[in-house]
Amino acid sequence: MSELNYNHLRYFWAVAQDGNLTRTAERLNISQSALSVQIRKLEDRLGHPLFERRGRKLHLTEAGRVALDHADAIFATGEELIGTLRQTGTTRQAVRIGALATLSRNFQIGFLRPVLGRSDIEVILRSGSAPELLRGLLSLDLDIVLTNQAPATDALTPFISHKLAEQRVSLIGPPRMLAGAMDLAGLLAHHPVIVPTSDSSVRTGFDALASSLGVRPQIAAEVDDMAMMRLLAREGIGLAVLPPIVVQDELASGLLIEAGQLPGISEAFFAVSIERRFPKAILKELLQPSPMPSGDARPNPR
């Protein structure tokens, strides 16, 4: 069996960085045809196409993304040799995670905890809207996407949704707003509330619950960002309709308290992936289910 030609790999690595054959050839001061030959030789050696052309730009195939990750590690080894002698070197595997911009930061930290601080793992975390993150997943720029709503799937969008947790949703506010003895209907009738926007399943459940209680709550704010709901609750703007995990630090310190669970309402958290021929082993570790703590439907930040 012939050995891998690392010159071919370095040429591939350079093209993958630029995404443009002509620009890379100019930068390396070689002809475009010679560069194309080097890439084809590497593809023949590996047995997989590494690029696909879309318009004028080259995009990595799944095999190309795998090859790039290994090339990053291989060429980092040279730097590691120097760094080791200087006692600063470590080769790391990149894990690219996209998270819905409005998702609970506490949940994200809980999910990432198994890989945070590991010397062999580099976490690349990107936030954005659901459509752009899912596009990143399909283009292999992301390994996994964290969201609170499973995406629709069909033959052209083969998303795999892993349900990581299902958190109860409660009415949460500062102690001064929850000092007196009052049932849920009384709380909703006497205090303004901070609620998710109307496209949220939690909001749909809350509206149905309020209707069943015969209450028309005063809406202090409609917010699509859990972090902002947390801040508004801390400011005493109203009682927030939130999973307790979002404000776990405030609950622990007594800055906020939980008035009670809202019956029949929960928030689900998902990790979305796609089927890959070359899956990263670390993703299996991240997707392992956590033990179920008492008092929750299925949660824990994982």
Q: Among 120-134, 248-262, 276-290, whose mean pLDDT is lowest?
A: 276-290
- Per-residue pLDDT tens for 57-107? 888 999 998 888 888 878 777 665 665 555 555 557 788 999 998 888 888
C-alpha–C-alpha distance, residues 124 and 148, integer Å: 20
pLDDT of residue 282: 85
Locus of tokens 């190309």: 64
> For 182-205, what is the mean pLDDT?
90
Q: Among 79-83, 156-160, 167-171, whose mean pLDDT is lowest?
A: 79-83
Domains and CATH numbers, the chain: 6-84 (1.10.10.10), 91-164+269-286 (3.40.190.10), 166-266 (3.40.190.10)
pLDDT of residue 91: 59
Asked whether the predicted pLDDT for residue 231 surpasses 50, the reply is: yes
Q: Residue 143 corresponds to which tokens in the numbers above?
A: 């390994």
- Per-residue pLDDT tens for 97-130? 999 988 888 888 989 988 888 888 889 999 999 9
Alpha-carbon dihedral 37, 41, 42, 44, rounded to 10 degrees: 130
Asked whether the predicted pLDDT for residue 302 surpasses 50, the reply is: no
Locus of tokens 């928030």: 267
More confident site: 280 or 123? 123
| Average pLDDT score, the chain | 84
pLDDT of residue 296: 41
Please give the full DSSP string across 219-287, using - where no structure is assigned: EEEEES-HHHHHHHHHTTSSEEEE-GGGGHHHHHHTSSEEEEEEEEEEEEEEEEEE--SS--HHHHHHT
Q: What angle do CA 35, 37, 42 make, to 5 degrees?
A: 100
R_g of the chain computed on alpha carbons: 25
Is residue 295 very low, low, confident or very high in pLDDT (cuts 50, 70, 90)?
Answer: very low
More confident site: 39 or 181? 39
Asked whether the predicted pLDDT for residue 293 surpasses 50, the reply is: no
Q: Would you say the pTM of this structure is higher than 0.75? A: no
Asked whether the predicted pLDDT for residue 298 surpasses 70, the reply is: no
Contact between 271 and 160 under an 8 Å Cβ cutoff? The reply is no
pLDDT of residue 285: 81
More confident site: 165 or 241? 241
pLDDT of residue 2: 55
Look up residue 178 and give its amino acid: L
